[in-house]
Amino acid sequence: MDNNVREQTHSYVRASDIIGRESDKESIVQMLLSLDNYNNDDHLDVIPIVGIGGLGKTTVVKLAYNDERVIQRFGLRMWVSSFSEHFTLGKTVEKILKSATGESFGHLDMDQMQRRLAAVLNGTRYLLVLDDVWNVDRIKWMDLRELLMNCSSGSKIIVTTRSKAVAVVTSTRDAYDLTGLSDGDCLSLFLKCALREGGDQPPNLVAIGREIVGKCGGVPLAVKTLGSLLYLNRDEDEWVRIRNNDIWEIDQQQSGILPILRLSYEQLPSHLRQCFAYCSMLPKGVQIPREMFINLWIAQGFVHSDNADRQVEDVGNHYFNELLSRFCFQEVVVAFDGEILACKIHNLVHDLAQSVAGIEYGKKAVSDRVRHIFLQDEDHQPGKEESKALLGLRNVRSFRCVFKVRSPDKAFVRAIATSFKRLRVLILISLQLEELPSSIGNLKRLRYLDLSQNSNLTSLPSSFCKLVNLQTLNLINCESLRDLPKYLLHLINIKTLYLTCQKLSLGKKSYHQGLKTSLVFVYYIYMTARD
């Protein structure tokens, strides 16, 4: 479930924000600096970092990755994340190449990418981080490893994973098992999140906080979530209520952190709960632009302004900040002026969103109550009967499909436009169609349309101008797009437009200006078009 703008989690972390991981960082740094080859048959060392979700594996590896000694040691450093259980060699090689060069290679076939990778790695001592790996197919791993062998002695690969089976499959040495934080470090982290930094720490609240973190199992994500839940709340009764909550009685095993996170969810007001649940429709493990959250919530009618002078976008931004303050989102990207540009949904937080989303959200057409559908062709390819049932759902509000393995034909898009007439959000990423069916104009209630990464799309049908309620249109990386519909300006509700269309001709200068000025609220416009 991967989106545009930024495809990978970044490798930067502020060391001053991390508590209790200096020893783990130093151990990993020493393994990276070591010249020992743990497999005498080659010169590529693979180091697995294993631990349960929310423990901070990625954070610790970032600290080591950005250590000056490590930077000096390796001529090339690469960071690749967000591996699904459905591991594909081609996609992984493409991500590695992008991290190494900053360029996109999705247009190359596998043979071309292999040759390019060999050239990039040739004779180089490199460090490659494969973050959050789930693949346990040894044959697939060996195929990838073979492609990474064209390197200098001392090259290292770090694999972070929740699965010990993955560590066994990938490693050339014993795995590094990351354990929980000490009680003292947990308490320090908790108080940093719950009380104003540098302020007083009431002994009665500190004592209760010590009992709360004692139930977190040393998991930083759980500690930060609960600390943020009590941020600047000095009411002792509220602290006691959190400490005594029955949810603690649930066994805290591999996925036992979810009950802790759910406690934070249950404290959300109803309007934020539905916004949080909708995050299950978004990809985990990749950077998501802030305005994408807001525009999707607005499209679904989740955002309301009680003040006529306050724009709904401002209210949506307030919702986003509220969820962010509760550590629902991670790895925030901040602009030089302090504005939040993007963030990532932590894998476990995404799991929580899926668990609370309920029957209205699904990957399969299991009920007439389904309102939001997300399909990913590499995960799920519905059969004939299931497709018939899917298209029989008349009350679908969101349809999101990411095409990674195969792209559907025009009839598929026509069926969606004909069947899902109540759609408010339609996301079809990486279509390979030259044109859309005219039936797209039937979606009169559509507010959010994402056709990004469609490299073959040359034009939009004239019926496109019937989408009178459309607010957001994403045409990023539609590089073959040459024309926009003549009456596009009739879409008076469009507020956000994304364009990276090299061949697009906007015609007369007045048309160009009219298009831009019709956008009342613009977060980013990527205009590389010809006048």
SS (H, E, C) 95-142: HHHHHHHCCCCCCCCHHHHHHHHHHHHCCCCEEEEEECCCCCCHHHHH
Q: What is the mean pLDDT of residues 277-284?
A: 90
Using DSSP, state whether 90 is helix, strand or coil: helix
Q: At what angle do helices 57-65 and 22-33 cross, to 10 degrees?
A: 50
For the cut 60, the answer to whether the pLDDT of residue 308 exceeds it is yes
What letter represents residue 39's amino acid?
N
**Cβ atoms of 271 and 443 closer than 8 Å:** no
Q: What is the mean pLDDT of residues 74-102?
A: 86
CATH code: domain 358-517 is 3.80.10.10
Q: What is the mean pLDDT of residues 114-132?
A: 93
CATH code: domain 15-177 is 3.40.50.300
For the cut 90, the answer to whether the pLDDT of residue 275 exceeds it is yes
For residue 214, how many other CB atoms are within 10 A of its CB?
A: 14
For the cut 70, the answer to whether the pLDDT of residue 294 exceeds it is yes
Position 44 confidence tier, pLDDT thresholds 50, 70, 90: confident
CATH label, 270-350, candidates 2.40.160, 1.10.10, 3.40.50, 1.10.3470: 1.10.10
What letter represents residue 236's amino acid?
E
How far apart are the C-alpha atoms of 242 and 221, rounded to whole Å?
16
For the cut 50, the answer to whether the pLDDT of residue 512 exceeds it is no
**Cβ atoms of 222 and 245 closer than 8 Å:** no
> Would you say the pTM of this structure is higher than 0.75?
no
For residue 137, how many other CB atoms are within 10 A of its CB?
A: 11
DSSP H or E run through 352: helix 347-357
Q: Beta 176-177 vs 126-131: how paired, if at all?
A: unpaired
Mean pLDDT (the chain) is 81
pLDDT given at position 232: 78
Range in 174-188, 268-282, 469-483, 494-508 with the lowest mean pLDDT: 494-508
